[in-house]
Amino acid sequence: MEKERANIFKVNQGKRNRGYNRQAAVAYAHRWWNSYNPDFRYFPVDCTNYVSQVLYAGGLPMQYTGKQDAGWWYAANGAREDQWSLSWAVAHSLRWYLASQQGVLTAKVAAANELRPGDIICYDWDGDGVWQHNTVVVGFNGDGRPLVNAHTNNSQNRLWDYRNSVAWTEKTSYLFWNIIY
């Protein structure tokens, strides 16, 4: 079974191009903002799985390790037997994977006004250092402020700061990531 998963991964990797296609990432984000791609498993808390799919749709190759706590990867095709890394599906893990600068998915910390479509924002709702949510930048409002798409509470073209969310608190912290590849 592991060999079969590795073969699926190699097939998927062969389709990756060098460079991050921000237009393709944003197109995917808009296509699937309010539904779920059947090629991937649905998670009740789906924000990071969705963001990972967006990054992958933008051309970022997975870093397959076969280990849940290493790399950034998803193996198979939406079935119950699928496997994935924690960084693919868990907000806190993706945040730390981005910070690690390991593998092919790299990013640099930015400010909100430096974000571009296809970049990522991480959210720590209560400021305790545990990151609970991720979104993808899809555009900007008339004031030039980033708009994001997200899953879990599916959102399209939402103002990036989430101040109108029940999860937001005065202690909310943000990390802004420019995706580099």
What would the pLDDT profile of 73-89 be if each residue is shown by its tens digit? 999 866 678 999 999 99
For 134-145, write each residue's pLDDT tens digit: 999 999 999 999
At residue 108, the pLDDT reads 82
Is the pLDDT higher at 163 or at 80?
163
CA atoms of 181 and 170, how far apart (whole Å): 34
Instruction: Give me the mean pLDDT over the 41-46 stretch.
Output: 93
Residues with Cβ within 8 Å of residue 172, at least 6 apart in sequence? 123, 124, 125, 126, 127, 162
Residue tagged 């909310």 (tokens):
172
Domain span holding position 40:
2-180
Assign 23 to helix, strand or coil. helix
Domain containing 165 — which CATH number?
Answer: 3.90.1720.10
Residues with Cβ within 8 Å of residue 109, at least 6 apart in sequence? 99, 175, 176, 177, 178
At residue 17, the pLDDT reads 54
pTM comes to 0.88
Residues with Cβ within 8 Å of residue 37, at least 6 apart in sequence? 53, 78
CA atoms of 83 and 133, how far apart (whole Å): 21
At residue 109, the pLDDT reads 84
Q: Worst-scoring range by mean pLDDT, 12-26, 29-43, 123-137?
A: 12-26
The radius of gyration computed from the CA coordinates of the chain, to the nearest angstrom, equals: 15
For 160, other C-beta atoms within 10 Å of its C-beta total: 19
For 79-122, write each residue's pLDDT tens digit: 678 999 999 999 999 999 998 876 666 678 888 999 999 999 99
Q: Count the domains in the chain.
A: 1
